Amino acid sequence: MADGANAILVGRRGRGLGRGPETAGTSGTGGRLRGEAPVLAVAAVFTLAQLIFVHPTMGLGWDEIVYVSQVTTHHPAAFFSAPRSRGVPLLAAPVASWSDSTGLLRGYLAVLSGLGLYLALRAWKGLFPARVLATAGAFFATLWVTLFYGPQAMPNHWVAIGALVTVGCALRALRAGRAHSGRGALWGVAAGAVLMALMRPTDAVWVALPLLVVVLVRRHWPLLLALAGGLAAGGGEWVVEAYAWYGGLGERLSRASEIQGGLGWNIAVDDQMRSLGGRGLCRPCTGAMPHPVVTLWWLLLPVVAVLGAVVAVRARRATATLLPLACAVTAAAPYLFMIGYAAPRFLQPAYALLAVPVADALWHLVKTGRDRWRPVAATLVALAVAGHLAVQFSVLAGTVNRNVESREDWARVAGELHRLGVRPPCLLTGYESIPVGYYTGCSSGSTSGNNENTTAAEITDTARRIPVAALTGPGGTPPGYARDWTPHRVTDLEIRVAPPG
């Protein structure tokens, strides 16, 4: 292997971990800044791209509404179902708790996600050269799903950031052994694990499984304490809620599985491919596959990741590549083989973890081999990068436009409800009552389904005190308690408003 790319990690005590040449050869503040400049640039461009390409006035989506409504004083809190955790409300609280501005929330989250990406990549400092880390960050940051969800109040991007921090710091702790120099890495492992578990406790466990195996084999008990302690600290509130509201942890997990369609053997690889065209939620996941140009990167990703593993094994630095690959596999497994629907954001942690070995493989292709083939390899990689950017930003633009339109539709329905006299305090039930209720300023109620939180008797009783409306979607029938209420047509919805009590 040529240049510095072949010596990314030098074996240490036979463990396949070492210090990268770009970090070992720099000293002083100037060297550190030069080493971090590419990663800083990637994080800054990522933040700027979110602010430019994701419409800052795009209204909150359904899941965002559930999370943000828990901490805002401007809207009633929406029903919080069993699979959800409190990490996203905590993340949004510094802005959402006092401001109703969606643009301000988007800007805050874009800056925060850029900072998170920088810190996550910095956790890998010394394991790979800065150019590899910057390339990994650029790959992850230019995926349409990363750009789209970075400035949104959603959990998956932050599980991805936590996964990068946890795995990178764990590798550094393993390299340091039990030396004093590894204490900072242990704190990083704990912080990353806390972040993952705060956002999605079950996802955090899936990501951490290979790490737990390695730690037990190596008998690195301080690392085990940091990882397990971080997971427990981050997921503790979710477990307490399970016993307070659901009758126990098993009952909450069972209810969460039921809401997600029943977890079990179910191949969803094709569902994930269908969602790559910009479908935020593919449930039920029917329809044609996106154009092959849109799905090509997804099919090539595991191939290039395996190439990165081969490169690492041949260079005798396997652990630093195989461990994130293993964590990516366990992070993706439940969403590829255990769930009956798809959303592209589910795989963000896997994409983030695959980014490092993929970037390493790309640099291997460009920097090694016979001199006469290097220009060819560099040209092919450059063309692949250009095609990647074109596809990702094209899908991003279409996805943003569709979501802006759908959320404007909710706002229009809310305006009509106000005109019909349904104003806060009020209650909406039925079709899309959670998002429409948020835009209207009303509480939302459901007598069945995943968001069941009331009964027909309670709804009719509420109608005697405050305005209540039942929403019926296209082809649906109004609920029995609302059949005598005055009907109105708004867009493709039938709205029945309860007579004043």
Q: For residue 284, is the peptide bond before it cis, meaning its omega torsion is within 30 degrees of 0?
A: yes
Closest CA to 495 of 417, 405, 409, 411: 417
Report the pLDDT averaged over residues 67-81: 96
pLDDT at 51 over 50: yes
Sign of the Cα torsion 61, 66, 68, 73 reads positive
Residue 72: strand, helix, or coil:
coil
Q: How many residues does the chain have?
A: 501
Mean pLDDT value across residues 384-396 = 94
Q: Do the domain assignments include residue 367?
A: no
Does residue 472 form part of some domain? yes
Q: What is the DSSP letter of 291?
A: P
Residue 361 lies in a domain: no
Answer whether 352's CB lies under 8 Å from 346's CB.
Answer: no
In this predicted model, what pLDDT tens digit does every residue of 272-286 receive, in sequence order?
A: 999 999 999 998 888
Q: Report the alpha-carbon distance of residue 392 to residue 293 in Å, rounded.
A: 10
What mean pLDDT, rounded, does the chain reach? 91
With respect to residue 136, please indicate whether it lies within any of the assigned structural domains.
no
pLDDT digits (tens, 9 = 90+) for 105-126: 999 999 999 999 999 999 999 9
| Enclosing domain of residue 479 | 403-497
Dihedral (Cα; 112, 115, 119, 120), 10-degree rounding: 60
Q: Is the pLDDT of residue 13 over 70?
A: no
Q: Is residue 112 part of a domain?
A: no
Per-residue confidence (pLDDT) for residue 480, from 0 to 100: 94
446 in a domain, yes or no? yes
Q: What is the pLDDT of residues 144-184, one digit of tens each?
A: 999 999 999 999 999 999 999 999 999 999 998 776 668 89
- Residue 25 is predicted with a pLDDT of 39
Q: How far apart (Å, rounded) are the C-alpha atoms in residues 375 and 379?
A: 6
pTM for the structure as a whole: 0.92
d(CA 171, CA 134): 18
- Give the span between the Cα atoms of 67 and 88, in whole angstroms: 6
Output the pLDDT for position 17: 54
Share of the chain above pLDDT 70, in %: 91
Q: How does residue 32 score in pLDDT terms, banded at 50, 70 and 90? A: low
pLDDT for the residue numbered 422? 97
Encode pLDDT of 331-370 as tens digits.
999 999 999 899 999 999 999 999 999 999 999 888 876 6
In a domain, 489, yes or no: yes
Give the pLDDT score at 264: 86
Q: Which amino acid is at 283?
A: R
Q: How many domains does the chain have?
A: 1
Summarize the confidence of residues 122-135 as an average pLDDT.
95
The answer as to whether 468 is a domain residue is yes
